[in-house]
Amino acid sequence: MLKRLLSDDFPRSRVLAVLLVAALLGLALAPFLFPGVKALNVAAKVLVFVVLVASFDLLLGYTGIVSFAQTMFFGIGAYGIAISAARLGPGWDALLIGVAGALAVSLVLSLAIGLFSLRVRAIFFAMITLAVASAFQTLASQLSAFTGGEDGLTFKLPELLSPSFEFAEEPFLGVSLDGRLLCYYLLFVVTLVLLLALLRIVNSPFGRVLQAIRENEFRAEAIGYRVVVYRTAASVLSALFATLAGAMLAIWLRYNGPDTSLSFEIMVDVLLIVVIGGMGSIYGAAIGAVLFVVAQSYLQDLLRIGSEAASGLPWLAAVLAPDRWLLWLGLLFVLSVYYFPTGIVGRLRARAAR
């Protein structure tokens, strides 16, 4: 059963297997192990980024395509939910229409970008996707009557997913059993299903062809594979998964705006996570997303504790000041690349193979 679920793609490293199980259990039990609003928000953000990063790794890691349009499709998914729920009201039909509409828009856009741009060289394709994504962000900011402009859109979800809806009067293990908790587990189940689907895709004959194209595009073309068709299909699949990740974010936040889902900073974070976790590995997307989002969310708190503890040494307290968290995050990234040049997953698998 496990073999079929993982599509024969086992961790191949005991340490990696332990990390994956720890991440799975940690996310599954996060509301009870780490009570509090911030901890639950961090766990939900991890789930969203796991799907988003895995969708991007399908392009970069498995196919060798560098695209900066991933946040555009991410934003389309978020805006699909936000616009539909804001106009149609807090109903399940609004959520379904929003997801379906966002997937349709992403399908058309990704197909157009793939067919017209994937024939050019890698750097030119990357620039084209960057231009398209920037134009889409500007458009979303200016169409205030439709998207809410810079202020974004706030909307309501069905009552079952609302924090005010309680399943039981008494808390369970100190946690209120309400709609917010149900919303989190909805995201958890969707993330698990989408990850298993991505594992199935990359370990199928289609995924093997994508990896062959990544290794040697001309050889793949020479033995009969239509490279443009496969690359376009990979681009479309990646866009659809990123759209679903954006829908997950909007459902959790009950809000969406240009800076929430279309910011270029999100694209930078995705690139960093792919490098940290390991390109060409769905497991790398999961491990990298957990480590990066947790570090990004709690590094300031850790630095504040360190700065207070080092108050007797002014120079050390200044170095550990919470305002310098980006400096320390960058240092951690440099160290991770230095010691894990093939990513955490690549390094652990190579070590296990030796």
pLDDT tens digits for range 17-64: 999 999 999 999 998 888 888 889 999 999 999 999 999 999 988 888
Range with the poorest average pLDDT among 44-48, 60-64, 145-149, 322-326 = 322-326
CA 48 to each of CA 100, 131, 151, 217: distance values in angstroms, whole numbers, following the listed order: 18, 25, 22, 32
State mean pLDDT over 323-328. 78
Return the residue matching tokens 């698990």.
Answer: 192
> Percent of the chain scored above 70 by pLDDT?
97
State mean pLDDT over 136-155. 86
pLDDT at 297: 87
Q: Which ranges of the chain would DSSP assign to H, the alpha helix?
A: 2-5, 14-28, 30-33, 37-63, 70-88, 92-117, 122-142, 144-147, 179-202, 205-215, 217-222, 227-253, 258-261, 264-277, 282-309, 314-319, 325-339, 343-353
pLDDT at 64: 84
φ, ψ of residue 115 to 5 degrees: the values are -70, -35
State mean pLDDT over 63-87. 91
| Mean pLDDT for the chain overall | 86
pLDDT at 112: 87
Examine the pLDDT at 9 and tell me if it is beyond 90: no
pLDDT at 249: 95
| pLDDT tens-place string over residues 341-350 | 788 888 888 8
DSSP-assigned states of every residue in 262-317: S-HHHHHHHHHHHHHH-TT-HHHHHHHHHHHHHHHHHHHHHHHHHHHHTTTSHHHH
pLDDT at 103: 96
pLDDT at 1: 66
User: pLDDT tier at 287 (50, 70, 90 boundaries)?
Assistant: very high
- How far apart CA 211 and CA 266 sit, in angstroms, is 26
User: pLDDT tier at 240 (50, 70, 90 boundaries)?
Assistant: very high
pLDDT at 298: 86
Domains of the chain, earliest start first:
2-353 (1.10.3470)
| pLDDT tens-place string over residues 266-286 | 998 999 899 888 888 899 999
pLDDT at 122: 66
- For β-strands 153-154 and 255-256, DSSP reports them as antiparallel
> Percent of the chain scored above 90 by pLDDT?
36
CA 354 to each of CA 11, 12, 218, 301, 347: distance values in angstroms, whole numbers, following the listed order: 15, 12, 32, 39, 11
State mean pLDDT over 315-326. 77
